[in-house]
Each structure stands twice: as structure tokens, then as C-alpha cells.
A and B are shown apart, each in its own frame.
Chain A
Amino acid sequence: MTTNEVIKTLAARLKITPREARLHLRHLLAAISERLQKGETVSLPDFGGLTAAPGKPRRTFDAATQEFIPLPAKVEFFFKPYKRLKARLAKWRAT
């Protein structure tokens, strides 16, 4: 499923124009990423929680100088499904 499909379905379901749906979706995503940047967990109701966290600082070994060189940490993203989603997934797997 792609963005366009999401937008079309949204527009049909909420009886708004695709243009409006696209704009609201942008709002939504902007709001989510804004909070993720602050290191907060965004909880999507009945779906799951989305978190971004800085990973461990990495290091690499320089064989020439026999020293460890520090590297910047990566960002790790976590999606934790909520109970209801977990139940649905389990049910789905069972079918």
C-alpha cells in the first residue's frame, strides 16, 4: 500500500477531497516526526507506540595506529505494538 492509496481511501472514507486528505496526512506525519525528534514516544491509539532513540556510540579499530576511533551513534527506531494489535496479529497468524 502506498501513500496515494492511503490518501484515496481516507478521502473516500471521510468524504473529503484527496487534496484535503493529503494535507491532513502531512500534518499528522509532521506532528509525529516533530515529537520523535524530541525523543518522545508517539502512541498511535489501538496500534502501537513509535520511538526513536540514539543508539550506543560506536567505535572502530584502526589497525595502523592500533587505536579505537569513536564513531557517531545511529538512530534506532522502535515500534511497539499495543495489546489489541498483538491480539489481532496472533489471530491472523492462526488463520
Chain B
Amino acid sequence: MRLDLSWIDYLIMIIYFLFVLGIGWFLRKYMKNANAFLEAGRSIPAWVAGLAFISTNLGALEVMGMTGSGMKYGMLTTHFYWIGAIPAMIFLALFMMPFYYGSKARSVPEFLKLRYDEKTRGLNAILFAIMTILASGISMYALAILMEKVLGWDFNMSLWVSALIVLGYTYLGGLSSAIYNEVLQFFIIVIGLLPLVFLSLKDVGGWSGLKESLAPIVSGNGYAADTWTTTWKYTSEASGNPLGVEWFGILFGLGFVLSFGYWCTNFLIVQRAFAAESKSAARKVPLIGAIPKMFIPFLIIVPGIIAIVLFNDPGKGFTLPLDAAGKPIYDYTIIMLLKQYLPAGVLGLGITALLASFMSGMAGNVSAFNTVWTYDIYQSYIRKRTGNEEADGKHYLTVGRFATVAGVLLSIAAAYIAGKFGNIMDFLQTIFSMINAPLFSVIFLGMFWKRTTGHAAFTGLLSGFLMALLHHGLTVPAGATTLVKGGWIANLHTYPVEMAQNFWTAIIAFTVATLVTVGLTLLTRQQKSDEELHGLVYSLTPRTLAEEGPWYQRPVGLAIIVGVICVVLSILFW
């Protein structure tokens, strides 16, 4: 399974590295204070921030995982894109961005401080900081192990080199550098993976040839012959499709709770819109990002589906590495496909695309971590602002730079821990993924119900998180071999697949958080005056949304275009 690269492939990679670091180098002279470094001076054009928005989300684990899921679940994986992202992105753009951006908050935790109180911010800031480091460590580990197994690169070397390059450009140019590079990385990911899509599709005889070759394989697994090339058709029952979830679970669990939790409250993503040059630009950022997002499935999921056909045809010579239990490691699908189809030259481009996806994800984590650390932890609890703006700006810039270095070093440490105690890291990541659903509930109630109080929000956030934990401790997915997957308290219920368990964990976290927040709001007194909530709550914010330009350049016009394309795609692949 070894893949040998030639000099041209390395040369392509080196040119890419030079450009990535060069962008950081050019931007370094603009980094005069914390505002420029951590918020990109709120000066980024909408299209740049929009592509960065989607590029941050297109990390290495996303690319590797979604291609693997394409193999495991077929076109059903597109639920993570069409129903599981687009509605939430439209909602974020039209209804939430005006309050996020208008509040002048520099981070999501800071919005919680402005809208609610210090303790709500503190809870969220600390959980978020830990989660970001974990996520970046885990993806760094996954990348280094992939490079070791397939390319034969030394594990330590790929870990440190890739981390140091990300550190280099984020340290030099801060958020601006992360965002600019994400745009470059977005194009390299698309162009690098493009030949793979065309060649693999051509190899199996196009879309209709793919359907034909899939039919016997899929039927052999006990599903209807076209299950892998349809999305909603077999979701009337959980057992009819490989996701193991019925339409309600997909619609409410994935399409509402999980996706709104992720897209509307995850600072890592939302930060790109915060950096936009105006409120109108900030509203357009998620919508501009949504356009490529809808088509990414064709780039990474479709090759994954083709991989099943190759895998089942011995004549193709396509293999996947096996894990200790003898099962194929689905996450390796993408790199094995690159090996299958790409000759030297474009192969280097494909590997560079994988490295770029890793870097865009990691830079996103690092630049969100240093902002939350500097503004929400350091500035609130360690050294408050002195009032001298210039001196403060310099001081927090230094702190932000240190946080960048510390964030990268902590991620490297997390990557080594993931290598030694992979199960513990998986477990921690599962736990921390539970903070998003309650957070969405609390932020949503805060924006649209002026009565919502700080005490209620804090308790709602905490109890949603704890109930999710409890649910995870009491249920298991079928076939789980370790307590990491759940059931570490008792086993009260067995889900057919892990996906179903995740969906329900999120649904419970969201429901509990909402009920507790609403209930306690009715029992507690609002500490904030209407004056303080101006610009943070819908009913207390004057509507001055006079957008300029032709209709298709306005947020609502763009949202309609995005919505229509998404519906058309869903119908085409129903």
C-alpha cells in the first residue's frame, strides 16, 4: 500500500509551503495591535471571508471522514451538507449575524457576556478553549499517522513540520493570515481533488455506470439496489438505510439540532464572519460559503462511493488498509484513491490538497483559541484593560502571539496523547461535542426573547451538557466494544448505529437546555435593562436593514439563490 512520490510532487508541496508562509510574512507589518491580530481589523471583504468560512470547515478530518462516509453510507452522506448545513447557514446569515456583528462582540463567549453575564461567558470560553485544542490535536495525529502509513514519512517529522508551518503563518499575520491562506487552501483543495473525481467517474462509466455497478453490491448488503445513490428515498424506516436513522432523526437531529449548534454557535466558524468589513458583508459571509459547500459532496463523497465499486472488483487492484479487527479503515479511502488514479505531478497536487485541508482546519482552531484565550480568559480574569488603548493594544497583541504559540504546542501535546490513548481522546471529543447543542438553544433564546436571564442561560447550558453526558453514559451503539462509545453508567438502550446515538444525544441536550432556560427565566428576574440589551435582542433593535446593490448581491437575495439550488440538488438526488 506504499505510495512513492517523485521529485515533482515534493517540488509542488514546497512551492505551496513557500506561498503559505509568504502570505504570513507580507501581513506581519500590519499586525500593530491586538485588534489587527485577533480580529483582522474587521476589514475582510465578504467573498474572502466567505471562502475562508467554508475552508475552515473543510479540515483534514472532514475530507478524510466524508470520503470514508461516502463509501459507508453513499449519497446519504450528503445529508451532512444539504439538510445538515445549508438551512443553518442561511439562518445564521439572515437572523443571527446582525446581532453577533452589531453587538461588537469579538467572540461568541463575549456575546454571552454582553447578553447574559460573566459566568455564562466563563463556562463557554473554558469549554471552547479545551475543545479547540483537542480537535486540532486529533486532526494533527490523524494526518501524521496517514502520512506515515501511506507515504512513509516519519510521524514526528510530519507532525512538527505541519504544525510549525501553521504556527509560522498564524504567528506572523494572525487572523488575516489564517483567512487569506484559507482562501488559497480552498482553491488548492478543489483543484487538487478535481482530477480524482473525473478519472474515477470515467473509470466506472459515469454516474449511470456507477449506479449499475453498485446495484449488486448494495443488494448483497441487504439494502435496496439504489440506496447508495439516493438521499431521502429510504429514510421512512431506520433499518432501510445504512445511516440507521429515519427521516425524523435526520431532519430534527442533524438538520436542526446538530447543524444549527455547529454552524450558528461554533466560534471557529463564525469568527470568519466577525472579521468581515461591514454588517452587510458579515451577513453575506455564510451565504457565499454555502455555495461551494453545496457542491463539495461531488468532490469528496462521490469518489468515496466509487471506492466501493473498486473495492469489490478484484480486477481494479484497489485496497484499503485494515485495522486490528480486520475491518477496512474507511478514513484512508481518499489517499488510496489518489494512489489509484493520479500519476506523478497531479499526485503531488492531491497530497498538497490534503495537507492544505489539514492546515486550514488547524489554523482555524488556533486563531479561534488565541482570541478566546486573550479576550475571554486573560482579559477578563487575569489582566483587565487599563484604559490606555494604545498600550493595551500592544499588550494584548503580545498575549495573543503567546497564545498562538501555546495553542500550537498544546495541540502537538494533544496529538501525542491521541496516539497513546486514542480512546480517551475520542471520548473527550464526544463529550465536548455536546456543548454546541445547548449553546445554540441559549443563544437563540437570548436573541429572540428579551426576557431570558443570565442565571437561566447558565443553568440551561450546564444542564443540557450534563444530560447529554448522562444519555451517553446510559446508552450504547450496537456492537460497541469499549465504554468510550457509551454505556459507562449502565446500558438502558442500544442504538442500531453510533450515528443514531449521536443524533439523540444532541436532541436531548438541546431539549433539556431549552426547557431549563425557559423554565428558569420565568422564575428569575431580568438583571439587564432594555438599554443594555439594545442591539443584542431582536425586539430591542431598530431595523435599519437598507441593503444596497442589485437584489442578488443582498443577503436575502443570496439566501434565496442558495435555498433554491439546495432544494434542486435534494430533488435531483432524492
- Do A and B pair up? The answer is no
**Which A residues contact B (CB, under 8 angstroms)?**
none
B contact set with A: CB distance below 8 Å: none
